[in-house]
A and B are shown apart, each in its own frame.
Chain A
Amino acid sequence: MWAQIINTVIGIWIIIAPSVLSYSGLGTDNCHIVGPVIATFAIVACWEATRVVGKINIPLGLWFLVAPWVLGYEETLPIVNDMVCGALIIAFALVKGKVKGRFGGGWQAIRQSGSLHEREAQNEV
């Protein structure tokens, strides 16, 4: 959960970074578009049952590693900030954290046969 909280904070930082570090051009819009998305997935992933949603931030972190070059940033500070944030987001998105609940086998158990909830339901009869 702490890893997802950190990614939430990084996502919010990305939203405000353009005003603090004086981004110009496409970098500003990029941060204003992708920052809220990262923060959203990180917040939803704070709960164990939806932890898997945090993984969506891995490709979004990758995007921030390459965005300065794809979008042609010119100032150093925005380039460094985007790449550092991207690397950190990937690292924390990979942290699964403690999942104590069993949740009947989770989301894949809706399709997979022989899942935990099916086995336990049979034992209850």
Chain B
Amino acid sequence: MSTQKEKNTPPGWDYNPSGWDDRIPIVVLALIGTGIATYLALYQLGVITTVWEPFFGQGSETILNSSISNILPIPDAALGAIAYFVDVVSGMIGGTRRWKNMPWMVVVFGIAVGPLGLVSILLVILQPVLFDSWCTLCLASAVISVAMIGPAMDELLASLQYLKRVKNAGRSTWKAFWGVKEVVNQVN
């Protein structure tokens, strides 16, 4: 069992960033984020008529009905829910060696987690600056998406280091990126 674990740990690392103990907490956070964003999207779409706001009075209603939140064809919370769900799916797919045999999924996961967090911080900034209000659940969602960035990036680092070793070996990084076995089996 321990040798299996060692086998999955990338060279020069002390743990396996693709291990389930590393990924499950991020997926759980993403699931909570999906739930919050879905709830806010249902309000924006008019399916529910009130929204929970314990601290800032009319804050959530002001923010969720603002011009920025409807700047795209679908409300911003719906986009958030989709992005969180991409986090959940791309966090689950692949085994505990996916930093090596499925780099593309690790990169999709990294791109889904990183920019999602940055966009949600942009929205946090816009709330007081443009509308002089705050939205409690929007803030909670932003905190969740930022908290996911740090723990998700280690796996991306392991995959990028692997692609560097593939390049060093004179193999196709393109094939390694997609996890083609003939390349993956030949480079450590």
Contacts and interface: CB of A to CB of B under 8 A. Distances in A.
A50 B150 contact: yes
Interface in B118-134: 118, 121, 124-125, 128-129
Nearest to A122: B188
A111 to B, nearest CB: 8
A115 B157 CA distance: 13
Majority SS at the chain A contact face? helix
A47 B13 contact: no
Interface string B134-174: 00000000100011011101100110110011001000000
A121 B117 CA distance: 33
Nearest to A104: B12
Interface string B1-35: 00000000011111101000000000000000000
Contacts of A44: 117, 146, 149-150, 153
Interface of B: 10-15, 17, 117-118, 121, 124-125, 128-129, 142, 146-147, 149-151, 153-154, 157-158, 160-161, 164-165, 168, 187-188
Given A36-B124, A44-B117, A50-B154, 19 more contacts: A32-B129, A33-B125, A33-B129, A36-B125, A39-B146, A46-B150, A47-B154, A50-B153, A101-B13, A103-B13, A103-B154, A103-B157, A105-B12, A113-B168, A115-B12, A118-B12, A118-B165, A121-B188, A125-B188
